[in-house]
Amino acid sequence: MNAGIIGIGRYVPEKVITNFDLEKRMDTSDEWIRTRTGIEERRIAADDVNTSHMALAAAEKAIADAKIEPADLDMILVATVTPDRPFPSVACMIQEQLGAKKAAAMDISAACAGFMYGLITAKQFIETNSYKHILVVGVEKLSRITDWEDRNTAVLFGDAAGAAVVGPVSEGKGILSFELGADGTGAKHLYQDEYIIMNGREVFKFAVRQMGESSLNVLRKAGLKKEDVDFLIPHQANIRIMEAARERLELPVEKMSKTVHKYGNTSAASIPLSLVEELEAGKIKDGDVIVMVGFGGGLTWGAIAMRWGR
């Protein structure tokens, strides 16, 4: 029994904050932000839109796309570091709102690698035949924990949600291999006190190394070569980090997802959000080999090689 993605959905808030808007609020410039990060604008959720609202909106789309009913869900996993409150989990909140009565529900805290942790957790239940349909959501309202006086971090982040229904798919399709990891000794480089605190240079070095290595590791585990990869979906933190991963895989520019310019770093939402956009743009086709790779605070990381399709 192979586990794969059988439905996807996303939600982005309407409000756009451009680099030029930020120039008016802090000592920064569009030029600095674009050349250092690739970010041009980001979405910010309204005060009355919480993490659970965004998660619900993305989840409803993924469930409809999978052509199942909420009542068919066996489990809900929500990857987030910005839950509405410490408990109940966002997963329990949307379980009620969806009417997913038989679904077990919990949140996963793995920062920007959270969606990878969620997919790989879901895979275990599907492949042991324990569950058939698992909703995995990556969602953040990072604007709530961003210090809008701190130019080192405020220019980087945005709010969004992405969701996937994971279920059994035909032989040869779905998740072919994975890698998960963590290094708590690096916790000091990226964490939340009241707001996000970050040592950008240290995170950058770690990310460049880890994104490339994890991508190559999942290929090796799946018995694939670099030239077998049709599309790369890296965590959208910074275009320079993403480019380093692409170069390690020796892929042309058009084979890498890039949404960071529109949304900034949306943490756990960034990979599923990009996946939805690339599918809508027709860049990923049935049977394509895709690599998804993410890293984040913890430090955490995760990667998947998969063959797209049901």
| Cα atoms in the Cβ-side hemisphere of radius 13 Å centred on 7 | 21
217 carries an active-site annotation: no
Q: Does 245 bind ligand COA (CB under 6 A)?
A: no
Which residue, 125 or 206, has its beta carbon nearer to ligand COA?
A: 206
Is the four-CA dihedral 77, 120, 270, 199 of positive or negative sign?
Answer: positive
235 carries an active-site annotation: yes
Q: Which stretches of the chain are DSSP H helices?
A: 19-25, 30-37, 51-65, 90-98, 114-127, 151-154, 200-221, 239-248, 260-263, 270-280
Please identify which of the residues 53, 133, 189, 235 carries the catalytic annotation. Answer: 235
Interface mask (CB under 6 A) for ligand COA, residues 153-182, using x and -? --x---------------------------
Q: Does 266 bind ligand COA (CB under 6 A)?
A: no
Q: Does 259 bind ligand COA (CB under 6 A)?
A: no
Please identify which of the residues 50, 112, 189, 238 carries the catalytic annotation. Answer: 112
Helices (H) and strands (E) in the chain, counts: 10, 13
112 carries an active-site annotation: yes
Which residue, 95 or 143, has its beta carbon nearer to ligand COA?
A: 143
Q: Does 291 bind ligand COA (CB under 6 A)?
A: no
Host H or E run for residue 171: none
Q: Does 296 bind ligand COA (CB under 6 A)?
A: yes
Q: Which stretches of 66-143 are DSSP H helices?
A: 90-98, 114-127
* β-bridge mates for residue 78, sequence order: 107, 137
As a whole number of angstroms, the distance between CA 164 and CA 55 comes to 11
Which of 181, 200, 288, 309 forms a contact with ligand COA (CB under 6 A)?
200
Task: Report 68-127 residues binding ligand COA (CB under 6 A).
Answer: 112
Tell me if residue 180 falls in helix, strand or coil: strand
Q: Does 32 bind ligand COA (CB under 6 A)?
A: yes
Bin 55: left if φ > 0, else alpha if -120 < ψ < 50, else beta. Answer: alpha
Which residue, 28 or 109, has its beta carbon nearer to ligand COA?
A: 28
Tell me which residues touch ligand COA (CB under 6 A).
Answer: 28, 32-33, 36-37, 112, 151-152, 155, 190, 198, 200-201, 203-204, 207, 237-238, 265, 296
Q: Which residues are catalytic?
A: 112, 235, 265
